Amino acid sequence: MWKVVRFAASRSRRFSTAIPGPCKVHKRGTDILHDPWFNKDTGFPITERDRLGLRGLLPPRVISFENQYDRFMDSYRSLEKNTRCQSDKFVSLSKWRILNRLHDRNETLYYRVLIRNIKEFAPIIYTPTVGLVCENYSGLFRRPRGMYFSAKDKGEMMSMIYNWPSDEVDMIVLTDGSRILGLGDLGVQGIGIPIGKLDMYVAAAGINPRKILPVMLDVGTNNEKLLKDPLYLGVRQPRLEGEEYLSIVDEFMEAVHARWPKAIVQFEDFQMKWAFETLNRYRQRFCMFNDDIQGTAGVALAGLLGAIRSQGRPLSDFLKQKIVVVGAGSAGLGVLKMAAQAVSRMSGGSGTATTANSPFFLIDKDGLVTTERSNLDPAAVPFAKNPRDLEGLTEGASIIEVVKKVKPHVLLGLSGVGGVFDTEVLKAMRESASTKPAIFAMSNPTVNAECTAIEAFSHAGKNIVFASGSPFDNVDLGNEVGHVNQANNMYLFPGVGLGTLLSGARHITDEMLRAAAECLASYMTDEEVQKGILFPSIDCIRNVTAEVGAAVIGAAVAENQAEGHGEVGLRELANMSKEDTVEYVRSNMWLPEYCPLVHEK
Ligand SMILES: NC(=O)c1ccc[n+]([C@@H]2O[C@H](COP(=O)([O-])OP(=O)(O)OC[C@H]3O[C@@H](n4cnc5c(N)ncnc54)[C@H](O)[C@@H]3O)[C@@H](O)[C@H]2O)c1
Ligand SMILES: O=C(O)C[C@H](O)C(=O)O
Ligand SMILES: [Mg+2]
């Protein structure tokens, strides 16, 4: 059984918070002003202007970092005021543009703005606006960000990787653009997702922005509209398949690790068949994980355990919870696999994942998944129900049929289809066996959510607990508040990445992911959970990441995966208390401060 441990936020003297040391820069003059890593705009002190050949290239007055921040926020607020009557789409894209321009000009200021206002800006640089940006990327494109490896680069990647200007890369987010959120195949335009995820790595985990790399593997697209679009920036060919496809991913993985052997690669938004195949292919060879399968699973498991706690029930009740998962893709199957492992361990087993005899039900676009399904995807086989055990439900039963019959404690959507939890389905959840039925509409972006928060509380009742993948406002229920949780893998992947990095682990194991999920599950207090607050506010995401990262390090040490990082060796990691480990993680988080620049030839 899981012990609910909340790491103390005590400060240890062993790890002091980093004060930015000097940064070596190999350029001078305008080249520095045009480099967003080093640019400080009007913030360059006079002595630095002299040292770096900047004197005369900037207006004479030096503006403090804080004043630069205020100036940006003022222009952001004016934009908000001036766009008040415009459509939501126009406003969201305008907000993204102003942030993106800052990102392209001055990263230190950009991350200060992002970190201080994460709740307000996450919905712009991350889901849902990032989806809109990806849909319109070819038209919005102004400056490149990250690297693009295409089907035409075969045989060249080992040298191309050296085109990246940084000698140190810790964290890579890689996509092939084939399943961008719930928006489908967006080809090269999917690069917005790795960029947004890595922004969250900087904001939530304090990974140094000079050590991140967003990557697009452009192997073509099957999106006819994009192929016909004269502005489309990707390779105009159908997606590579089979061995041709895998040989491109293989070459990329070899090239990356030849240059940066310890870089962690997060696979993101790959269509299901490649998501599972690449995870199995690389996880023993490289330090990598698939966020949609593994990150999502951990967040969902934390939500499922929270739903039990919200009913005032012990976690052992997990064995009895009836859970209907709608969506049998990489995310839905990842969730079921982790949930089934938890059930197996709780009932004294080895943690082998199968739900055939458990109260879990899986539904895909063809309805309830049973052993009678022809062409059942191999990854779904362990979760197909035997119709003999179903008491009246048959292969392909609809969501409403399943919900009416099963009366689930939890209805969890990862289908990518907006509105599939319709009024009838939500009303049927009133008959749930739970005192606090849980409705998790986890698909992104907002338009693809299985239902909205208002729909859930109005049709399923005030006593539900609700979570969605993209943010919704809390719902006014008269004299109480219907709390909206954001069940998004952003609560896990930053801690998984940072914990892995700081442990120096060569691989990311199931145990490390389990530790991350359990840590998140135990983050909220009983009092909060009973109010329906299952996940923390995004405002404290650095704190969540520090704790999740520490849990990952603890598991890496326990499993003999850890090798240490920098000056902190394995022995020191192994001797750290939980509090010390949290503090160690926290003290390794990059802070957006201008560092003194020192020119080096
Ligand atoms: N909240 C999060 O943290 C999080 C994490 C990962 C994925 N997601 C979201 O989950 C969604 C699915 O992601 P995925 O990688 O599993 O996609 P996927 O394409 O691999 O799977 C989609 C699944 O949904 C099923 N489906 C389609 N239409 C359906 C319908 N009408 N009724 C029932 N099932 C239906 C499909 O058969 C398939 O099994 C996306 O919208 C994605 O944004 C959210
Ligand atoms: O990107 C997100 O917001 C979550 C998740 O990885 C998704 O694919 O939807
Ligand atoms: Mg994703």
Is 462 labeled as catalytic in the residue annotation?
Answer: no
The residue contributing the CA closest to ligand 1 atom 3 is 488
The residue contributing the CA closest to ligand 1 atom 8 is 443
Q: How many percent of the chain have pLDDT more than 70? A: 96
Do 130 and 192 form a contact (C-beta atoms < 8 A)?
yes
Long-range contacts, 538-543 (Cβ 8 Å, 24+):
538/118, 538/119, 538/122, 538/486, 538/490, 539/118, 539/119, 541/118, 541/203, 541/204, 541/490, 541/491, 541/494, 542/115, 542/203, 542/204, 542/205, 542/206, 542/586, 542/589, 543/9
Check residue 348 and give its pLDDT: 80
Atom of ligand 1 nearest to the CA of 468: 1
Do 317 and 435 form a contact (C-beta atoms < 8 A)?
no
The residue contributing the CA closest to ligand 2 atom 3 is 127
Fold observed for domain 64-286: Rossmann fold (3.40.50)
Q: Which ligand is nearest to the CA of 441?
A: 1
Rounded Cα distance, 536 and 543, in Å: 10
Check residue 21 and give its pLDDT: 83
Mean pLDDT of the chain: 95
On the question of pLDDT at 556 being above 70, the answer is yes
Burial string for 557-590 (b: 16+ CB within 10 Å, else e) reads: bebebbebbeebebeebeebebebbbbbbbbbbb
**518 CB contacts (<8 Å, ≥6 apart)?**
2, 302, 551
Number of other CB atoms surrounding residue 388 within 10 Å? 8
Fold observed for domain 294-491: Rossmann fold (3.40.50)
For residue 24, report the phi and psi dihedrals to the nearest 5 degrees: -85, 135
Query: Would you call 104 exposed, middle or buried from its count of C-beta atoms within 10 A (0-12, 13-18, 19+)?
Result: middle
Cα of 327 vs centre of ligand 1, distance in Å, is 5
What would the pLDDT profile of 349-384 be if each residue is shown by its tens digit? 766 655 556 789 999 999 999 999 998 999 999 999
Decide: 545 in ligand 1 pocket, CB within 6 A: no
Question: If residue 31 lies in a helix (H) or strand (E), which one and from where to where?
Answer: helix 30-33
DSSP assignment letter at 17: P
Check residue 346 and give its pLDDT: 87
Is 197 labeled as catalytic in the residue annotation?
Answer: yes
Pocket probe for ligand 2: among 180, 292, 450, the residue whose CB has the most ligand atoms within 8 Å is 292
Three-class secondary structure assignment of 312-343: CCCHHHHHHCCEEEECCCHHHHHHHHHHHHHH
Amino acid at 314: P
Rounded Cα distance, 7 and 509, in Å: 22
Atom of ligand 2 nearest to the CA of 444: 9
Query: Would you call 142 exposed, middle or buried from its count of C-beta atoms within 10 A (0-12, 13-18, 19+)?
Result: exposed
Atom of ligand 2 nearest to the CA of 269: 8
Q: Rounded to an integer, what is the distance from CA 172 to the centroid of its chain?
A: 13
The residue contributing the CA closest to ligand 2 atom 8 is 181
Check residue 209 and give its pLDDT: 98
On the question of pLDDT at 10 being above 50, the answer is no
Establish whether 269 is an annotated binding residue. Answer: yes
Average pLDDT value for residue range 513-525: 97
**Given 40, 197, 337, 385, which residue is catalytic?**
197
Cα of 271 vs centre of ligand 1, distance in Å, is 10
**What is the C-alpha R_g of the chain?**
24
Establish whether 117 is an annotated binding residue. Answer: no
Atom of ligand 1 nearest to the CA of 183: 41
Residues spanned by CATH 3.40.50.720 within the chain?
294-491
Q: First and final CA of the chain: distance in angstroms?
A: 58
**Given 76, 110, 126, 523, which residue is catalytic?**
126
Residues spanned by CATH 3.40.50.10380 within the chain?
64-286
Helices (H), 407-475: 423-428, 453-460
Check residue 601 and give its pLDDT: 84
Establish whether 386 is an annotated binding residue. Answer: no
Decide: 290 in ligand 1 pocket, CB within 6 A: no
Check residue 352 and give its pLDDT: 65
**175 CB contacts (<8 Å, ≥6 apart)?**
190, 191, 193, 194, 215, 216, 217, 267, 268, 269, 270
Decide: 414 in ligand 1 pocket, CB within 6 A: yes
Cα of 552 vs centre of ligand 3, distance in Å, is 21
Average pLDDT value for residue range 316-322: 93
Q: Which of 171-175, 204-208, 315-319, 573-577 has the lowest mean pLDDT?
A: 315-319
Helices (H), 376-422: 399-406
Cα of 179 vs centre of ligand 1, distance in Å, is 9
Q: Rounded to an integer, what is the distance from CA 521 to the centroid of its chain?
A: 17
Establish whether 268 is an annotated binding residue. Answer: yes
Check residue 357 and give its pLDDT: 65
Check residue 350 and give its pLDDT: 66
Check residue 91 and give its pLDDT: 97
From residue 115, give the alpha-carbon distance in Å to each of 80, 196, 204, 591: 19, 13, 8, 9
Cα of 490 vs centre of ligand 2, distance in Å, is 8
Atom of ligand 2 nearest to the CA of 291: 6
Establish whether 444 is an annotated binding residue. Answer: yes
Q: How many percent of the chain have pLDDT more than 90? A: 92
Check residue 485 and give its pLDDT: 98
Decide: 538 in ligand 2 pocket, CB within 6 A: no
Pocket probe for ligand 2: among 291, 330, 414, 541, the residue whose CB has the most ligand atoms within 8 Å is 291
Decide: 127 in ligand 2 pocket, CB within 6 A: yes
Q: Which of 216-225, 291-300, 375-384, 517-526 has the lowest mean pLDDT?
A: 375-384
Decide: 329 in ligand 1 pocket, CB within 6 A: yes
What would the pLDDT profile of 44-98 be if each residue is shown by its tens digit? 999 999 999 999 999 999 999 999 999 999 999 999 999 999 999 999 999 999 9
Q: Which ligand is nearest to the CA of 332?
A: 1
**If we measure between CA atoms, which residue out of 445, 440, 452 comes closest to residue 470?**
445
Check residue 354 and give its pLDDT: 58
Atom of ligand 1 nearest to the CA of 448: 41
Check residue 356 and give its pLDDT: 56
On the question of pLDDT at 9 being above 70, the answer is no
Decide: 344 in ligand 2 pocket, CB within 6 A: no
Pocket probe for ligand 1: among 364, 398, 415, the residue whose CB has the most ligand atoms within 8 Å is 415
